[in-house]
């Protein structure tokens, strides 16, 4: 309640609009990509909650990391994330993004996504079914509406931490932010 | 002084009304496409929320040319709007407005082209070059039909052409020249960039074309531009072939019917390649339009 008072009426209004209209970037890694077509099309139809697709990172506000991330893909994910316009949110899919999942001892995948990017929400499962994805999205919408989803601010505040972790696995990273 | 003020208010009112109506039409189109695909679809007011959200986001600019191109696209389409009679709202009934509107619509596209040059994204350049090529395709048969109508009614103002069809439903060009109306309807689908002719947007192929690099506020402005463009094109069609209207309500309803039909037809077809689209426009619509015009003249 106190947090809400701090936001101010205008910010509250913008957050409300943001939670009603989310454009999802269709960048798919790993096996979670398979779960998204049924979530988008006629069986589960997430557009009724105001979640649509965006074609490019510039137009998107929701970045889905759908599965394991090899270090090669992580570099692209970071470029993509830094090209997106604020406010922007990251959702991690499945156990691979939480603790490595079945790739826990792999030499070229990362184990924990939130060391590299600020994750708003994880959807557990291997892989999560469309119902679980929709449930996760509804929770994300609630978090945005109440002003709790502030991952992009966290990223800017702790930018050294994130940059250090990223450079540990990737070496040099070309920066746009 | 009072006169200038009322004119300015009139301009602002028409702009806001058209943007709001265009967004409403876009919402209806999304719902119709969803229902055709057996989905529930987003709420009808979704485009309004999208615009509010986009204007609330941060945006990155790619330099002065990018800003200028976006504003030129938006301003060009608003300038076009003032020459189109919307029901009883007719600001200009000069001779030659038909040709003027066709010219001014090109300004919006050229503004977009300028923006894409500023952003420097190759996909955006491909998109806008496709849009301009397609414009070359559909304008030829459209102008042939328009010159036929201008010859028939001996006036080249949109208002005059709408007035000439007054006096009963059977005087509409829809019933006097049904072939020309069907052609113009096909061309309208091409103008609004609906499905068979959406090679310039092609989200899965070139990443939404001219707006690839527009994020946040720029995309919101592009969305408003799109909504007003829809209204201009539909209003032109309704004035030329459905006899216009004497008040804004029945005019909007006529536009809505045309828009729903165009959306339904558009959601049934897969996408043409750009050269196929232009070939299509230069083949059958052009031949039939020339025959129709010869029929009107002799």
Q: Which residue of B has its CA nearest to A16?
A: B53
Mean pLDDT of B67-92: 86
Q: Is the ipTM above a cut-off of 0.90?
A: no
Question: Is the pLDDT assigned to residue B23 strictly greater than 90?
Answer: yes
Q: Which residue of B has its CA nearest to A26?
A: B204
pLDDT at B154: 87
Tokens of B153: 């009614």
Structure tokens at A134: 């929709």
Tell me the three state secondary structure of residue A55. Answer: coil
**Chain B: closest CA distance from residue A120 (Å):** 18
Enumerate chain B positions whose Cβ falls within 8 A of a Cβ in A.
30, 34, 37-43, 46, 49-50, 52-53, 56-60, 203-204, 207-208, 211-216, 219
A100 vs A107: CA distance, rounded Å = 11
Residues in B touching A18 (Cβ below 8 Å): 53, 56
State the smallest CA–CA distance between residue B256 and chain A in angstroms.
23
CB contact under 8 A, A14 and B52: yes
pLDDT surpassing 70 at residue A102: yes
Domain enclosing residue B135, as ranges: 2-297
| CA neighbor of B217 nearest in space, from B8, B70, B87 | B70
Residues B47 and B227: beta-carbon distance below 8 Å: yes
Closest CA to A139 of A153, A125, A121, A113: A121
Residue of B nearest to A52 (CA): B42
Nearest to B295 by CA among B152, B121, B141: B152
Of the candidates A131, A136, A16, A17, the residue with the CA atom closest to the CA atom of residue A65? A136
Alpha-carbon distances of B188 from B138, B140, B181, B196, rounded to whole Å: 9, 13, 10, 12
Is pLDDT at A4 greater than 70 in this prediction? no
Q: What is the pLDDT of residue B224?
A: 92
The pLDDT of B1-30, averaged and rounded, is 89
Select the more confidently predicted residue: A5 or B84: B84
Domain A24-169, CATH:
3.40.50.12280
Rounded (10°) angle between helices B97-119 and B122-153: 180
Q: What is the rounded average pLDDT of the residues A99-106?
A: 87
Q: How many CA atoms lie within 13 A of B190 on its CB side?
A: 30
* Alpha-carbon gap, residue A152 to B130, rounded angstroms: 36
Q: Are A36 and A64 in contact (CB under 8 A)?
A: yes
Question: Distance (Å) from the C-alpha of residue B117 to the closest C-alpha of chain A?
Answer: 17
- Range of lowest pLDDT (A20-29, B26-35, B45-54): A20-29
Residue A30, classified by CB atoms within 10 Å of its CB into exposed (0-12), middle (13-18) or buried (19+), is buried
Give residue B108's pLDDT. 86
What is the per-residue pLDDT for A101? 84
Residues B98-150: pLDDT tens digits? 888 888 888 888 888 888 888 888 888 888 899 889 988 898 999 999 888 88
Partner residue opposite A21 with nearest CB, options B41, B50, B212: B50
* pTM, 2 dp: 0.90
Q: What is the mean pLDDT of residues B161-188?
A: 86
pLDDT for res A3:
55
Can you give the pLDDT at residue A176?
66
Residue ranges of the domains in chain A? 24-169
Q: Which of B34, B35, B57, B223 to mutate against chain A (most A CBs within 10 Å)?
A: B57
How high is the pLDDT of residue A137? 92
Question: How close, in Å, is residue A131 to chain B by CA atoms?
Answer: 16
CA angle B185, B186, B192 (to 5 degrees): 85
Check whether the bond before A127 is cis (ω within 30° of 0): yes
CA distance B48 to chain A (A): 9
- B-chain residues within 8 Å CB-CB of A53? 203
Q: Is the peptide bond before A87 cis (omega within 30 degrees of 0)?
A: yes
Q: CA-CA distance, A153 to B166, in Å (whole number)?
A: 61
With contacts defined as CB-CB under 8 Å, which chain A residues touch B216? Answer: 58, 85
The model's pLDDT over A67-84, given as tens digits with 9 standing for 90+, comes to 888 888 888 899 899 888
Work out how many domains chain B is built from and give that number. 1
> Which positions in chain A touch B34 (Cβ < 8 Å)?
45, 47
Does residue A2 have a pLDDT over 60?
A: no
pLDDT tens column, B139-160 = 899 999 988 888 988 888 888 8
Chain segment B221-267, per-residue pLDDT in tens: 999 999 999 999 999 999 888 887 888 898 899 999 999 999 999 88
Chain B residues within an 8 Å CB radius of A57? 215
* pLDDT single digits (tens) A105-149: 888 888 888 889 999 999 988 888 999 999 999 999 999 998 888
How much is the average pLDDT of B202-217? 83
With vertex at residue A86, the alpha carbon angle to CA A80 and CA A91, rounded to the nearest 5 degrees, is 60
């Amino acid at each position: 309640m106190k947090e809400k008072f701090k936001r101010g009426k205008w910010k509250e209004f913008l957050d409300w609009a943001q939670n009603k209209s989310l454009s999802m970037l269709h960048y798919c890694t790993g096996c979670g990509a398979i779960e998204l077509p049924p979530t988008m099309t006629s069986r589960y139809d997430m557009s009724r909650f105001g979640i649509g697709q965006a074609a490019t990172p510039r137009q998107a506000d929701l970045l889905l990391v759908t599965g394991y991330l090899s270090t090669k893909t992580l570099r692209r994910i970071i470029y993509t994330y830094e090209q997106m316009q604020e406010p922007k949110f990251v959702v991690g899919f499945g156990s691979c993004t939480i603790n490595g999942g079945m790739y826990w001892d792999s030499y070229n995948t990362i184990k924990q996504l939130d060391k590299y990017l600020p994750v708003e929400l994880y959807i557990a499962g291997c892989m999560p079914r469309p119902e679980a994805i929709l449930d996760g999205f509804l929770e994300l919408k609630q978090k945005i509406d109440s002003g709790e989803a502030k991952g992009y601010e966290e990223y800017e505040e702790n930018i050294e931490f994130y940059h250090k972790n990223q450079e540990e696995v990737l070496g040099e990273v070309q920066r746009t932010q | 002084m009072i006169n200038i003020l009322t004119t300015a208010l009139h301009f602002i009112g028409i702009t806001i009304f058209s943007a709001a109506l265009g967004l409403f039409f876009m919402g209806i189109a999304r719902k119709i496409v969803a229902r055709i695909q057996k989905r529930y679809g987003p709420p009808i007011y979704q485009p309004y929320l999208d615009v509010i959200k986009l204007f609330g986001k941060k945006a990155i600019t790619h330099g002065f040319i990018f800003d200028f191109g976006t504003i030129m696209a938006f301003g060009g389409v608003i300038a076009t709007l003032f020459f189109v009679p919307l029901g009883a709202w007719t600001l200009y009934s000069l001779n030659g407005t038909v040709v003027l509107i066709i010219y001014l619509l090109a300004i919006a596209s050229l503004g977009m082209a300028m923006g894409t040059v500023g952003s420097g994204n190759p996909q955006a350049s491909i998109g806008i070059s496709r849009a301009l090529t397609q414009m070359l395709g559909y304008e030829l048969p459209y102008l042939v039909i328009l010159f036929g109508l201008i010859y028939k009614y001996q006036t080249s103002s949109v208002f005059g052409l709408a007035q000439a069809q007054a006096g009963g439903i059977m005087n509409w060009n829809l019933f006097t020249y049904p072939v020309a109306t069907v052609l113009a309807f096909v061309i309208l689908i091409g103008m609004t960039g609906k499905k068979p002719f959406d090679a310039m947007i092609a989200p899965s192929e070139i990443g939404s074309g001219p707006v690839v690099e527009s994020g946040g506020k720029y995309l919101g402005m592009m969305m408003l531009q799109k909504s007003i463009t829809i209204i201009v094109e539909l209003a032109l069609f309704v004035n030329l072939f459905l006899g216009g209207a004497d008040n804004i309500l029945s005019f909007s309803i006529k536009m809505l019917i045309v828009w729903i039909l165009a959306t339904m037809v558009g959601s049934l077809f897969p996408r043409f390649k750009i050269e196929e689209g232009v070939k299509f426009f230069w083949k059958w619509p052009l031949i039939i339009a020339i025959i129709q015009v010869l029929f009107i003249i002799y």
